[in-house]
Chain A
Amino acid sequence: MSLVQVSAQAEDPKPTVLDHIRLRAGSIAIPLGTAVSLLLIWQIGVRLFEVPTYIAPAPTDVLAVFTNEFALLMRNLWPTLIESLSGFLVGNLAAILIAVAFVHSRTIEKAFFPIAVFINTIPILAIAPILVLIFGAGMTAKVVIAALICFFPTLVNMVRGLQSVSPQALELARILSASKSEVFWKIRLPSSLPFLFSALKIAATTCVIGAIVGEWIGADVGLGALIIDSTFNFRSPLLYATVFVSSGLSVLLFTAVSVAEKLVIRW
């Protein structure tokens, strides 16, 4: 092998690594650049046409709220976070348990599935006031609303997941004389996990919506309450900042579920 060949071979992988970095940088830089440009256009537009702040605040106004009113935003984030998380846990746990009951017994499924569908068809905005009347202005009503909004997608997915076992896997279990509980724990439940996680990802964002809708109806703390309050007081920069915090909360929960999924489901 000549020296030229050696150096050619040594240099060969270098550009590909660089290309790779360039590609990665591009996939981050392009959407980021677009977002920054849009913010810039927004900023210039608002200043150029002298739009009043209460109609549409400039990005810098919103940013100012983040620094000045940080304590206020955080104080209202906590209740919403707790309500969302509690609703997420309660709603999904109920959905999982009911899904297990459905798969276990056709009769239970026949009896309760239509009711579950019916509850799901009531718009959450319509049922929220009823729940606030029942459970009062405290956190309970918000947790129930958040739970309710998570419930149905998880129920449907979990039932499908538990039924997704291949007929051959069940025949294998029969040949091994496996008991019903062994089939459940060793075959059905693991099979359902990919389905469960896709439902949990939906629930991670909808539970925040549920909590905020609950807070609109009647609450003095929470992001939902802050949204209503800042709207009626024409504090638009605060309103925008609250909206950003709300979506940040959803993103946080979604990311947490995605990370958990990566750790649990390796197949």
Chain B
Amino acid sequence: MPVQRLADIADEGPHQDMASRNVAACLSGASVKFGSFTALEDISLEIGEGEFWTILGPSGCGKSTMLRLVSDLVPAATGDVEILGKTTEAARLAREFAFVFQDATLLPWRSALKNVELPLEMGRKRGLKIPMSDKSPQDLLDLVGLKGREDALPHELSGGMRQRVAIARALVCKPKLLLMDEPFGALDEMTRDHLNLQLRDIWRETGVTILFVTHSIPEAVFLGQKVLMLKANPGRVKQVVDIDLPSEREIALRETPDFNRYCGQLRRLLEEC
């Protein structure tokens, strides 16, 4: 698999400038209830534009529910969620965010390229103005390292390739916020490392804000600038941990003492949850 190292072209970018940040997503006292069950309670967060957040927590703590709340798939029972100053519904209609699911959720009868183009075809009947990335669907497939496989059907691609098609599809409407729900959870270690690097590159190049749910502590530390730790029953914010590691990240970073210190800290936090 060819690695496209975009970091080589991307400069330090706007991510470093934390002082004058705009808010990409703002949750204030938000909670989600399913019947009498409280999935999330009193979540208050401010996610700055261009930031990379990873979300960790014990299973059943509402990690996925939080993404679904932000993406207007489930309503807030109390409190408020704003995306770029809009309601979640308005943000959805304006395609401000995109979602990457755990399984790639490609349409099996469409080629890789046609799958990437799907968001451009949906919502037309409602007269939505659909924003387009300055990169064509073809460019986006090249970006995720799938040059030459645009005509392949999903069943002809490996799990990692399918997930990369899903990422290209998520980018096609130039979202400001990318919501990722354990996108690499079902992949093998090698593929996962590879996609982690690629995702960091995409983030640095596009300046998109990312909310990334995972259950892997090293993945959370490797990817994120901030790790949001949730605790279960009911799902609440346990702590937000700033990851102060260099923005240029290589796999070798995982062997450094700093990296392992963060992993240890998060592991202890997770045990307390």
Contact = CB atoms under 8 A, between A and B. Distances in A.
A266 to B, nearest CB: 7
Interface residues of A, number: 21
A176 B119 contact: yes
Contacts of B122: 173, 176-178, 182, 186
A172 B271 CA distance: 34
A34 interface: no
Contacts of B34: none
Main secondary structure of the interface of A (DSSP, over half): helix
Given A169-B105, A169-B107, A179 B123 contact: yes
Given A171-B101, A172-B101, A266-B153, A177 B107 contact: no
A168 B93 CA distance: 19
A187 B99 CA distance: 18
A186 B73 contact: no
Contacts of A186: 107, 118, 121-122
A172 B105 contact: yes
B112 interface: no
A177 B93 contact: yes
Nearest to A171: B73
Interface in B61-93: 71-73, 92-93
B98 to A, nearest CB: 7
A166 B39 CA distance: 23
A177 B90 CA distance: 10
Interface string B103-114: 101011100000
A267 B123 contact: no
A168 B109 CA distance: 16
Interface string A156-175: 00000000001011011111
A267 B126 contact: no
Contacts of A176: 95, 118-119, 122-123
Interface of B: 71-73, 92-93, 95, 97-99, 101, 103, 105, 107-109, 118-119, 121-126, 128, 153-155
